[in-house]
Amino acid sequence: MALVARETHKPPFEALTADLLPLLVSCRWHERRAAGLLKPRRVRGKGWFAPGQRHWVHREPVGLVGIIATWNYPVQLLGIQLLQALVAGNRVVVKPSEHTPDSQRRLMELAVSAGLPPGVLRWTEATREAGPRMLDHERPDHVIFTGSTRVGRQVAAWAAQRLTPTTLELSGHDSALVLADADPALAARAIWNGLVMNAGQTCMAPRRVLVDRTVYDRFLDALAPLAAGARPLRLIDDASAARCWELVAAAHQSGARSLSGVMERPDGPCLRPLAMVDCPPSAVLVEGEHFGPVVAVVPVADMQEAIGVHRRGGQHLSVSVYSRDVGSARRAAAELGASYVTINDTVLPTVHPATGIGGRGLSGWGVSRGAEGLLALTRTVTVSATSARVRLPLSTPTAASAAALAKLIRRVFGGGRPPALNTSAVAQQERTETVVLTRAAPGGAVNKS
């Protein structure tokens, strides 16, 4: 906790609850579930035409996993990636973040001291130059990178030349949608918490809030005291704070106003969290190209206008929707283009250890965490065994036998109705995605579906 707090400037309690606790919960989940996920699986349903055959799917380690770590959650993110790679049976080499070298080195020292065999886990120095050098010298069999889209492109280009699979966890510039039937007070509290958590340096934090005009004033009334009481937060460096201020100033010039009535320039890396309300959709701040505790609040006419503004942003990782009608919110999930949709909460449900997080497009690709993340760090080996006595004949059949077989196949497989196409999904050209939905009741109880 002390190392994380010192290097990232987050409070020790936040280091405990947002960094260490999610890793511990993931460790416990893997202790209970990983063996079952990784054991050989018998494959059924071979068909009557394959007598005497049995099939299994084995999960084997990919070999050497290279991890280029990030700094914003130095123990949680690297820890879970490291955990999954090791549990799957791989060797691992890590390039720690130059911003959090001590925290991540301590984490890996603890892993080694827990009894890992020699050479299973290694790490490089924590410099920018060490990342490309590690890739070129180690030639890992799978690369996990967490960071910016710009660097993610470079990693993808390196991997494409060598046909090396990758998991790219890139940032999202995502939205919170407050619909007409939402509880505006609940929405304000949860969205503000997601905004200021880790000083806004969370890839799934909201960058824009799209609020139905019918609840807009009540939402601002609930958000105003939170914004007014905010204290300056320290970002990772001066450049991050300066970028936030640049977009805030531009939004103010385009007609937006600070909900707290205060607009303070950053003091080096320290910036007071800001909600810029009445923000026109065309403001650059709405695009979300920043990494800090600043959010654009945009009034919209209805759900469809909100989705239109949201989809104009290029990176969608996680979206939160606030509505009392959970069914409608679930049905709209596919239109949002994100891989993780939370209903009536922001960010917090995404730490569930069984759920995967995967980007698409400019937010990256591949899945980490949960069953899918663990299996992604293995390769599939299919094994079949055929009986020596009960098996398909290898000789060429007679013409009569071939005709009889064709008649039998036609009778078994022909004449059925074709399956119905999912025309709505085809029209939207959406990939199939895992959507995790959580519903928080106003009283605080959480129902999960």
Task: Give the mean pLDDT per block of 10 residues along the chain (449 residues).
Answer: 95 95 97 97 85 94 98 97 97 98 97 94 96 96 95 96 95 92 97 96 94 98 97 96 97 96 95 97 94 97 92 85 94 88 94 91 91 97 92 87 89 75 58 48 47
Nearest 5°: the CA angle 277, 280, 286 is 80
Which residues, other chains included, contact 60 with Cβ-Cβ below 8 Å and sequence gap of 6+? 89, 378, 379, 380, 381
215 & 167 share domain: no
Q: Quick one: residue 63, left, alpha or beta (phi over 0 = left, psi -120 to 50 = alpha)?
A: left
- 262: domain CATH number? 3.40.309.10
What are the residues facing 439 on neighbouring strands? 447
29 & 178 share domain: no
161 & 178 share domain: no
Is the four-CA dihedral 290, 292, 294, 295 of positive or negative sign?
A: positive
What are the residues facing 147 on neighbouring strands? 170
Which of 329, 347, 379 represents a domain boundary (last residue)?
379
In a domain, 75, yes or no: yes
The two three-digit tokens of residue 91, written as one number: 């060797």
In a domain, 285, yes or no: yes
198 & 308 share domain: yes
| pLDDT (tens digit per residue) in 258-316 | 999 999 999 999 999 999 999 999 999 999 999 999 999 999 999 999 999 998 877 88
Q: 235, 271 in Cβ contact below 8 A? A: yes
Q: Note the pTM of the prediction, 2 decimals.
A: 0.88
166 & 252 share domain: no
| pLDDT (tens digit per residue) in 60-71 | 999 999 999 999
Q: 149, 171 in Cβ contact below 8 A? A: yes
- Closest by alpha carbon to 182, among 336, 354, 47, 302? 302
